[in-house]
Amino acid sequence: MFTGIIAAIGHLQKTQAKGGDLQLQLSTKTLDLSDISLGDSVAVNGVCLTVVDKDNSSLSFDVSRESLDRTSLGHLEIGASVNLEKALAVGDRLGGHFVSGHVDGLAAIISKQESARSVIFRIKIPTGLERYIAEKGSVCIDGTSLTVNNVIDNWFEVNVIPHTMQQTIMSDYRIGTEVNLEVDLIARYLERLLPQQDSGITHQTLIENGFIK
């Protein structure tokens, strides 16, 4: 489990194909690796990966075919920057929102506009995930916890403050950049728990399940 608060930026140092999968070696000068052991989980651009090797300044991960197919990790080039976050520990501050590191799909940046000192990104939602994005709800983009400012049809907008731009890879985003999207856990499980109806969630459904009176 993660929070979507990026701890450091790493760089892809080496890739190695292994039986259809891929092993990534990432270098990092700013992430404290002293408390990371083999088998621990680290979020790389929002993807929960297991540490399979380490030294004083780098970590290695095996990336499954499933993760390569559903995320942007398989498209990274040597030297590419990535967001890094260590797994949430008991007693840590929850500065963002609960993030599982299980990417739901690839989204795309469709516009980038300055707004005072912040930047507004408009992001195209992958088909089928539109219903999970809500105004003022939470999303995770490449491992970064963000608040949805606006959502219309198949796109949504997020407002990114200077600190987040400086501490993550978001300053590298351009029109067309593909990003890993994880929707809010609450939205995902709420749909699964509520009775399925052809017409979707209705006012009566909410009453029957105690959400409204």
Let me know: does 169 contact 129? Beta carbons within 8 Å: no
Instruction: Say what the pLDDT of residue 187 is.
Output: 82
All domains in the chain, ordered by first residue = 8-86 (2.40.30.20), 105-191 (2.40.30.20)
In the block, tokens 């728990």 appear at 193
- The pLDDT averaged over each successive group of 10 residues in the chain (213 residues) is 95 93 95 95 98 96 95 96 94 87 96 96 96 93 97 96 97 97 87 64 68 63
Instruction: Say what the pLDDT of residue 213 is.
Output: 61
Interatomic CA distance for residues 105 and 154, integer angstroms? 14
pTM (two decimals): 0.88
Instruction: Say what the pLDDT of residue 91 is.
Output: 83
Instruction: Say what the pLDDT of residue 195 is.
Output: 65
